[in-house]
Amino acid sequence: MGNILFEQTTLKFPGMPRPAVNQVTCEVASGELVVILGPSGCGKTTLLKMVNRLYEPTSGRISIDGQDIKRLKPTALRQQIGYVIQQSGLFPHMTVAENVGVVPKLLKWPKARIQARVEALLDLVKLPPAEYCDRYPAQLSGGQQQRVGIARALAGDPDYMLMDEPFGAIDAITRSALQGEILRLQQQLQKTILFVSHDVDEALRLGDRIIVMNAGRIVQFDTPFNLLTQPASPFVHELLGADDMVRQLGLLPVNAAMMQLPDHYQNGNKPVVNAVDNLRDALSLILKTGAPELSVVKDGEPVGLLTLEHIRNCAVEANR
Amino acid sequence: MAYLVNNVGEVAALLWQHLQMTLTTLAIAVLIAIPIALLIMRFRWLSIPVMGLLGIFYTIPSLALIIFLVPVFGLNATSVIVAMVIYTQVILVRNLTVGLSGIDPAVLEAARGMGMSWWQRWWWVQVPLVLPVFIAGVRIAAIVAIAIATIGAKFNAGGLGKLLFDGIQTNRIDKIWAGSITVALLAFVINGSLLWIEQRSRPTAQKS
């Protein structure tokens, strides 16, 4: 496992007035999912593509796990970095199994190992191998294609993943489901992930931290919560819609706002929320059910109570 | 028909010559067209001058083109084959470049991003994807070559054209029939088999 380190990384395309990526210095920690967020043309994709050397920086350095990537052979470097792109980029002439097996084949794994790996990965992304192995990409829905794209990127068991707006061309419902899958996979696999997005809600939901870029520079690099509550500039404030209180509530867990269970507590028939759910879900439950308070549970045991007032206090506290 | 049946040996020999000329032409033409197409893909600005030049060659009447070549290569099959190679270039190069630029850029980027070398991208991705379009080009080129090879008889190159020209000169309708039926059959068979290969080579043909 390792980190990704950018040092004064700059890339200026010939004939362009300003560098696409300008003096970027930052570190993505091992096992962290970092979203690069920004408007189109801000250099987020360019920054991503320098990591697997699809672009070469004009100056500065990028290293993974302490090793300067310039010293590695591009093909060898790329084989140890999973890569997922927007239009899935699946090979139309290969079956699902063959697509997923490409990197293992490049790494010269024995056939039996490749087959076992392909089946395990298809299970992981919830496409039953028996049903999907022999299908062609054209026979899959957009969401299924992107699941195969993710499985394919994971095939060589890379420590790093680069994801270039992987869900940009997918309908809202499927996108939300796939974001959930990414969170689930990341909990399980703990890869170091760089994820490009222009969707604020996606960035807030997925990112452990978010790099906000504008005009080739990093404007702010922080956790979703800090970006919303302490935006470094009016640009960040506006880009993230930091005034949107409901958006903030989506980042606060219920157990940050709830009140401890009173001594002689009797759980009437109160609606129940989980302690790790966010306050946005809790708020909508209160509004939907009309209940004055919610019972907070952890591992099935009641641990606290939550009222509208608790939520409001918590939101006020966060913006102080 | 009677001539065809009574002179199977002679017709077969001429058919063999005809087929040889056609296949030699296609083999050479493909070997030249692939590097030209790759150059055009690499340097896009070459497309207009190269395709323009090949297009101009294509408009020269075949008889005239072969006559041009006789002083260089002599009165034999070589001149005819060279002419046919020149003719088929425009078809092959166009089909190759259209096929190659028709490949989804996302697919090529994925191939690169996953760590395939140039060579692996060519053989694992580009060749299988361009194959159906390419074979379609070879098919059309083959038909053109079979037609032009018929004229080759005038230039001492042999082939089924010999039956036609002999027939016309000696007023032997049966020879003309024998020649044209055999050429037509040859064209049908070559077209049919290449069409079959073309359909088999479509990426998702295996599924249904």
- The pLDDT tens digits along chain A (320 residues) read 589 999 999 999 998 889 999 999 999 999 999 999 999 889 999 999 999 999 999 999 999 998 999 999 999 999 999 999 988 889 999 999 999 999 999 999 999 999 999 999 999 888 999 999 999 999 999 899 999 999 999 999 999 999 999 988 888 888 888 899 899 989 988 999 999 998 898 999 899 999 999 999 999 999 988 888 888 899 998 888 767 777 778 888 888 888 887 777 666 778 888 888 888 888 888 888 888 888 888 887 888 888 888 888 888 877 77
- The answer on A175 and A122 residing in a single domain is yes
Rounded to 10 deg, the angle between the B8-42 and B47-59 helix axes is: 160
Instruction: Give the tens place of pLDDT for each residue, B104-149.
Output: 999 999 999 999 999 999 999 999 999 999 999 999 999 999 998 8
The two structure tokens encoding residue A261: 């269970």
Distance from CA of A50 to the nearest CA of B (A): 11
pLDDT band, residue B207 (cuts 50/70/90)? very low
Q: Determine the structural domain holding residue A217 and report its residue range.
A: 4-241
Strands (E) across chain A are located at: 4-11, 21-28, 33-37, 59-64, 67-68, 81-85, 160-164, 192-197, 209-214, 217-222, 259-260, 272-274, 293-298, 301-307
Boundary residue ending a domain (A241, A258, A274): A241
d(CA A46, CA A217): 12
Distance from CA of A227 to the nearest CA of B (A): 31
Of B111, B120, B204, the CB nearest to A136: B204
Kindly report the CATH number assigned to the domain that includes residue A209: 3.40.50.300
Residue of B nearest to A82 (CA): B114
pLDDT at B204: 63
A263 within 8 A of A269, measured Cβ to Cβ: no
- The answer on A222 and A123 residing in a single domain is yes
Instruction: Give the tens place of pLDDT for each residue, B16-31.
Output: 989 999 999 999 999 9
**Which residues from B are below 8 Å from A103, CB to CB?**
114-115
Q: Once rounded to an integer, what is the mean pLDDT over residues B186-206?
A: 83
Is A92 in Cβ contact with B115 (below 8 Å)? Answer: no
- The answer on A201 and A111 residing in a single domain is yes
- The answer on A117 and A225 residing in a single domain is yes
d(CA A190, CA A193): 9
Of B106, B115, B128, the CB nearest to A76: B115
Chains A, B: CB contacts within 8 A come to: 71
Block residue for tokens 């790329």: A78
Of A77, A92, A136, the CB nearest to B107: A92
The two structure tokens encoding residue B3: 């001539």
**Residue B118: partners with Cβ closer than 8 Å, 6 or more residues away:** none
Select the residue from A91, A136, A194, A196 to test the B interface by mutation, using most B Cβ atoms within 10 A: A91
**Residue A148: partners with Cβ closer than 8 Å, 6 or more residues away:** A88, A90, A96, A99, A100, A122, A125, A127, A132, A137, A140
Is B114 in Cβ contact with A106 (below 8 Å)? Answer: yes
pLDDT at B161: 87
Q: Once rounded to an integer, what is the mean pLDDT over residues B90-94?
A: 93
Q: How many domains does chain A contain in total?
A: 2
pLDDT at B156: 81
A23 within 8 A of A8, measured Cβ to Cβ: yes
**Which residues from A are below 8 Å from B116, CB to CB?**
75, 102, 106
Kindly report the CATH number assigned to the domain that includes residue A285: 3.90.1280.20
Distance from CA of B110 to the nearest CA of A (A): 6
**Which residues from A are below 8 Å from B112, CB to CB?**
54, 78
- The answer on A226 and A153 residing in a single domain is yes
Select the residue from A45, A93, A134 to test the B interface by mutation, using most B Cβ atoms within 10 A: A93
Is B128 in Cβ contact with A75 (below 8 Å)? Answer: no
**Which residues from B are below 8 Å from A138, CB to CB?**
204
pLDDT at B203: 67
**A67 forms bridges with which residues in the sheet?**
A64
Cα dihedral A192→A233→A238→A200 (10° resolution): 0
Provide the pairing of β-strand A160-164 with A192-197.
parallel
**A307 forms bridges with which residues in the sheet?**
A293
Tell me the three state secondary structure of residue A162.
strand
Q: Determine the structural domain holding residue B21 and report its residue range.
A: 2-200
| Beta carbons within 10 angstroms of residue A56's beta carbon | 12
pLDDT at A319: 72
**Residue A242: partners with Cβ closer than 8 Å, 6 or more residues away:** A227, A228, A229, A231, A236, A248
- The answer on A280 and A148 residing in a single domain is no
| Beta carbons within 10 angstroms of residue B93's beta carbon | 24
B146 within 8 A of B17, measured Cβ to Cβ: no
In a domain, B85, yes or no: yes
pLDDT at A119: 94
- The answer on A157 and A275 residing in a single domain is no
**Which residues from A are below 8 Å from B102, CB to CB?**
none
A272 within 8 A of A278, measured Cβ to Cβ: no
Select the residue from B107, B112, B114 to test the A interface by mutation, using most A Cβ atoms within 10 A: B114
Q: How many domains does chain B contain in total?
A: 1
- The answer on A179 and A54 residing in a single domain is yes
pLDDT at B208: 38
In a domain, B116, yes or no: yes
- The answer on A222 and A116 residing in a single domain is yes
- The answer on A190 and A85 residing in a single domain is yes
pLDDT at A267: 65
In a domain, B208, yes or no: no
Block residue for tokens 């002679």: B10
**Residue count of chain B:** 208
- The answer on A198 and A296 residing in a single domain is no
Q: What are B's interface residues with A at a Cβ cutoff of 8 A?
A: 104, 106-107, 109-117, 120, 124-125, 128-129, 203-204, 207
Boundary residue ending a domain (A184, A207, A241): A241
Decide if pLDDT at B206 tops 60. Answer: no
pLDDT at B88: 92
d(CA A148, CA A181): 13
**Which residues from A are below 8 Å from B129, CB to CB?**
92-93
Kindly report the CATH number assigned to the domain that includes residue B123: 1.10.3720.10
- The answer on A164 and A308 residing in a single domain is no
User: What distances in angstroms separate CA A58 from CA A4, A11, B44, one per listed residue?
Assistant: 18, 5, 25
Of B109, B111, B204, the CB nearest to A138: B204
**Which residues from A are below 8 Å from B110, CB to CB?**
83, 85, 88-91
Boundary residue ending a domain (A241, A274, A305): A241
Instruction: Give the tens place of pLDDT for each residue, A183-224.
Output: 998 998 899 999 999 889 899 989 999 999 999 999 999 998
